[in-house]
Amino acid sequence: MNLQSRNKVDTAFSMASMTDLIFLLLIFFMLTSSFITPSGLPVNLPASKAAAIEMQKVSVTVTADLRYFVNEKNVGRDRIEQALGPLLGGQEGVVVLHIDESVPTSELVHVAGIATSLKAKVTIATKPK
């Protein structure tokens, strides 16, 4: 006497929906992580009420001891324009200034003037209050 069932249950697990979900999460995190580019240099940013997130390709950092960095590459005060020129490529770009709050305003104006003379928009990075 044969007592086996005619309807067999398939025990295989389909991973198609799982891979779709992982792929969508990967795309989401890749897109959102490019909006915020943290600066790895030790700078104590000033606080402000409104802190907008700006896409940055070029970053200029001035530390408390008046060291200048263009995209985390150490440059001298007199070499900022030569370092920014090729990065902007003659196009209108955005330069984000990461200026320590103890740095005199004259240094901020100096760097912002150089970026403006290269036809770049200047944004000052702040931390939210």
pLDDT tens digits for range 48-64: 666 566 566 788 899 98
Q: What pTM did the predictor assign? A: 0.62
Count CB-CB contacts under 10 A for residue 41.
15
H or E stretch at 11: none
pLDDT in tens, 3-29: 676 777 777 777 778 888 899 999 988
Spatial CB neighbours of 23, under 8 Å, sequence gap ≥ 6: none
**Spatial contact of 129 and 49, defined as CB atoms under 8 Å apart:** yes
